[in-house]
Structure 1
Amino acid sequence: PVCTHCLGSGEVLISCMGDENEEGKGGFVLLDGQSFIVKGTWERKPLEFGYDYWYQPYHNVLISTEWGAPKAFRSGFNPQHVADGLYGHHLNVMDWTTHELIKRIDLGPDGKLPLEIRFLHDPTATEGYVGCALSSTVFRFFRAPNGQWEAEKVISIPPKKVTGWAMDTMPGLITDILISLDDRYLYFSNWLHGDIRQYDITDRRNPKLVGQVFLGGSVCKGGSVKVTSDPELKSQPDPVYVKGQRLRGGPQMIQLSLDGKRLYVTTSLFAKWDDQFYPELAKEGCQMYILDVNNVTGGLSLNPNFLVDFGKEPQGPMLAHEVRYPGGDCSSDIWLAHTGVKNKM
């Protein structure tokens, strides 16, 4: 199980990936919202891969993403597994009423490992964004005038040429994205490069970068990685400290407060990948910190007064992953257009 949303019916829908042999298999499990008893699968036929999803009943659609086969990602990242077709690069468009797959949108070589997907919060909107981890791109998906769902690349993070790392080029690795409740800003994390970015998306097809801050990552000064060519930065970023502690790993899962002024960040992705790229997380635990957000003109800054160190937990060190905001948040609330009522996770 991966991603959970509550439905307007009171039921709970959970996305899944993989079968008993750890092969790729996407699908959804439907739970009773009171007893949490499994009612069955939701889809008519299994998908090739699964991961995140977003649904919009007003437009009779559910769109899901693809990570890969568990036998691949559970062993750590191996580029050969991408070449072997064990990772996804499609969006799966499902009919909300019939639960049937109506289209697979191939994102191609620029859309490898589409992970987190977000519709705009406006329930009448027919568009949203998806972050593609390995390609370090963001695609806008939308319903075209002919009624077909399509996708186009709108953001691309260039890789850095490096030495002292697993490969000679390092992708940003976009692992989480979200949209502010007013549908004005898009945020995402580059887990390997170590930065979080804020884009103004009032022009939906042409996002404008208005905020960026580096928070650790794999290319900090003083580490084993040396950047030999960088189309964006003139020098490698400095290590970052909060309350006297160096930030470990890179920014990963993010969550925005309802007023759009505080962005919460955790640093663990997946234990095997943490071990591979940030082994210090297993030894010392991950962290959570806050970015203060300028949601008027744009801008991000690290809050110097807040840090949760999961390495100090009684049974730690811990690898904290998801962030949820009490009372609803920007990555789980889905609004129903005909009533104005929202479903909450």
Structure 2
Amino acid sequence: MAGGIWGSLHERKRFPKVCRCSVPGRGVGTLRRGTESSGNRDLGTGGAEGAPAPLGQSSGEAEASPGAAGGRSRELSEAAAEPRLVPQPQIPACRSRGPEEPVTSGQERPAGRGSAAGCRGLSCGHGSCAGPALISLLSAPSGDRQGHGDVSTGSHREQRGSLMRGGLMSRLMRGGLMSRLMSGCTVPGEGAAPREEVAYVTCTYRCTCSEQPDFLATVDLNPRSCSYGQVIHRLPMPNLKDELHCAGWGPACGCFDSGAAARRSRLVLPCLISSRIYVVDVGSQCRAPRICKTIEPVDVFWKCNKGYLAVTHPLPNGDILIANTGDAAGNGKGGFVLLDGETYGLKGNWENECEVPPSGHDFWYQAQHNVLVSSAGLVPRVAGRGFNPEDLKKGLFGRRLNVWNLSCRSLTQCFDLGEDSLPLTVRFLHSPEAAEGYVGCALSGAIFRLSRSCERDNWAVEEVIRIPAKDVRGWIMPTMPAFIADLVISPDDRFLYVSNWWHGDIRQYELARNCKPRLVGQVFVGGSILRGGPVTVCRDEELKGQPEPLVLKCKRVYGGPASLQLSLDGKRLYVTNSFYSTWDQQFYPSLIKEGSVMLQLDVDTDKGGLSVNKNFLVDFGKEPNGPCLAHAIRFPGGDSKSVTLP
């Protein structure tokens, strides 16, 4: 196993300063550095002397080998873990609902960027709504899928032929409407997106004092509800110490009553430590989801030789792609695990075996440009020991951005974004035609713009944002860089939101074509440089003084902003403050004791600006089983982190 990880390190050391593709016979990427260089790029490794030693593993945890952890995990609920898939609920026929008609219990509201009346924008030439026929076409099983026969009914085939002969499908594809329909978005100009009513939040008890299973929390977001801002349901996992981290949707299917938005009925929960995969049914009862399938770690290890699973997105063909950060032994290894979009069974690896990156974490794709971009990640065995400044300059933190051919599943370009940059987060613009995205580097505080270059099928990266580091005393290093934990782009592609986990601020940047993003909003919601804390800021290029601690409803907020989620109308930004349990314990020990929170920021979408909503606070420190750590946030009708599907 040691040879594998050192082989990866040697491979990474081959990268020169100028970006170069590491795959023989592949194209050479273009890397342009920004002219602005505010802040110190040096992470101050000279200050590692005398720094506190990283925290070790908790007793009883087996982080180095998730296989061992899987074997020792307790089965708490055999019924909840029963590996069977609940049949897909019947999709109702598309109909128009009156504006005052209430939504009954268990019925989901339509979601998307446009109005709930998306069928009005998809009417045929005869004036009748094409929603029902289009829904039947989209929800019918595909006959050209490998291993699946054509089980479409005659009615489905007739409707499909009618749509194709009428040219509706071609018009939808040319106008990008099919992408917006399948991603939960409607035609622009058709009205405002419906407000989110519930959120699903992943919560973990790992590294806390509670020997309890992780759970999926359902949070009430309806301001008219008596339980607004409270956890109304908890779905416990059947095993301990999974570390529920990211959450992603399964393939969209059918539509809501209005015909506007694609319906998502399955939430996929890959586990960062145990490498399990839970599939949760949220379509039957959106306010009380339940587990409908579990894929055990041993299956992932033996079939894929992968582990430590992270970000999930559905593919254009309906299958589900999950990025991994390591192999079964915890060594650094990138790549993807593939699930069947209908059965949620494990298919195997997605990429060609000879082109596995040395590390991975996040990814995004643009189907119309046939491109998938994946980021680097933390080596699981190294990250499990905590952050150690001595690991810097050793190549243990990723520095590579990977560009893939989506249809061929092959690696075409690689970008070296700098030593110990750790490009962790990738986001494309939501427009299906956009050939532009942004990459957040966690340890360097830099954000790169990814765009198609002048050469055909080649991409280029350019540094457009660099958050200055701060000279400090009383911290693990003398220089505290900005730690970019998450990015989210507004559905209209106007704003970019950045969470800075170490400094404690959330930033809002205005995006413009061919221009560098402009900072238009900033608010501090925690962090390591608060006034009265153990860290003293000696030099700061941005602030005149250290920010004050945030107190909401008589509770002080600990930790820093980690995971973000934006409402579909772009007016409400939600944030949680747990990044990764081991690092939470090291940098924010009070967070372990007091528990996470979920905050809401009000967004000025006209001129830009952020402000904390003082009437909203989800306190995960008051959970029945003790304080827990909350991370990912997803909305049942689609959200701003959903990839636009073709």
TM-score (norm 2): 0.51
Distance across 2 between alignment mates of 1:128 and 1:24: 25
Which residue of the other structure, out of 5, 17, 31, is the alignment partner of 2:339? 31
CA distance in 1, matches of 2:514, 2:533: 38
C-alpha distance in structure 1 between counterparts of 2:386 and 2:340, whole Å:
34
> What is residue 459 of structure 2 aligned with on the other side?
149
Deviation for aligned residue 1:204: 4.7
| Cα shift at 1:326 | 2.3
Report deviation, 1:313: 0.9
Q: Do the aligned residues in 1 keep the contact of 2:529 with 2:536 (CA within 8 Å)?
A: yes
Q: Distance in 2 between matches of 1:323 and 1:198?
A: 19
1:342 aligns with: none
Cα RMSD after superposing both structures: 1.1
Structure 1 residues 136-285: aligned runs within 5 Å: 136-147=445-456, 148-285=458-595
In the aligned structure 1, how far is the partner of 2:601 from the partner of 2:371?
Answer: 34
Answer yes or no: is the 8 Å Cα contact 2:336–2:351 preserved in 1. yes
Aligned partners of 1:257 and 1:329 also within 8 Å: yes
Q: Quick one: distance in 1 between partners of 2:436 and 2:590? A: 39
1:32-75, CA deviations, whole angstroms, 9 ceiling, x for partnerless residues?
A: 12221101110003211111000112111110000121111111
The one of 128, 132, 135 equivalent to 2:441 is: 132
Q: Secondary structure at the match of 2:377?
A: coil
Paired with 2:371 and 2:362, the residues of 1 have a C-alpha distance of 14
More strand by share: 1
Measure, in 2, the Cα distance between the counterparts of 1:326 and 1:20: 32
Report what 1:120 is aligned to.
Answer: 429
TM-score of the aligned structures, taking structure 1 as reference length: 0.95
User: Which letter does structure 2 place at the counterpart of 1:112?
Assistant: S
Does the C-alpha gap of structure 1 residues 283 and 204 become closer, same or farther in structure 2, counting only changes over 3 Å?
Answer: farther
Stretches of structure 2 that go unaligned for 5 or more consecutive residues are: 1-308
Stretch moving more, 74-83 or 91-100? 74-83
Q: Compare 201-210 and 168-177 and name the one that shifted more.
A: 201-210
Residues 140 and 205, structure 1, Cα contact 8 Å, conserved in 2? no
**Could you tell me how far apart the structure 1 residues matched to 2:401 and 2:643 are?**
21
**Number of residue pairs matched?**
335
Conservation of the 8 A alpha-carbon contact between 2:315 and 2:645: no
Residues of 1 paired with 2:337 and 2:550: CA distance? 41
Aligned 8 A contact 1:66 1:91 in 2 = yes
Higher helix share: 2
- Give the 3-state SS of the residue equivalent to 1:21 in structure 2: coil
Checking the alignment, whether the CA contact within 8 Å between 1:131 and 1:139 is kept in structure 2 is yes
Deviation at 1:123, TM superposition (A): 1.1
Displacement of 1:10 in angstroms is 1.6
- The change in CA–CA distance for 1:16 and 1:200 in structure 2 (over 3 A counts) is same
Any idea what SS the aligned residue of 1:283 has?
Answer: helix
Alpha-carbon offset, residue 335 of structure 1: 3.7
Deviation at 1:82, TM superposition (A): 2.9
Once the 2 structures are TM-superposed, how far is the Cα of residue 87 of structure 1 from its aligned partner? Answer: 1.2
Task: Find the aligned partners of 2:450 and 2:519 in 1 and give their Cα distance.
Answer: 19
Q: Which residue of 2 aligns with 1:21?
A: 329
Q: Please tell me whether residue 313 in structure 1 is matched to residue 623 in structure 2.
A: yes
- Structure 1 segments unaligned to the other structure (5+ residues): 337-345
Is the contact between residue 401 and residue 415 of structure 2 (CA under 8 Å) also seen in structure 1? yes
- 1:325 matched to which residue of 2? 635
State the 1:172 CA deviation: 1.6
Which residue identity is paired with 2:425?
Answer: E
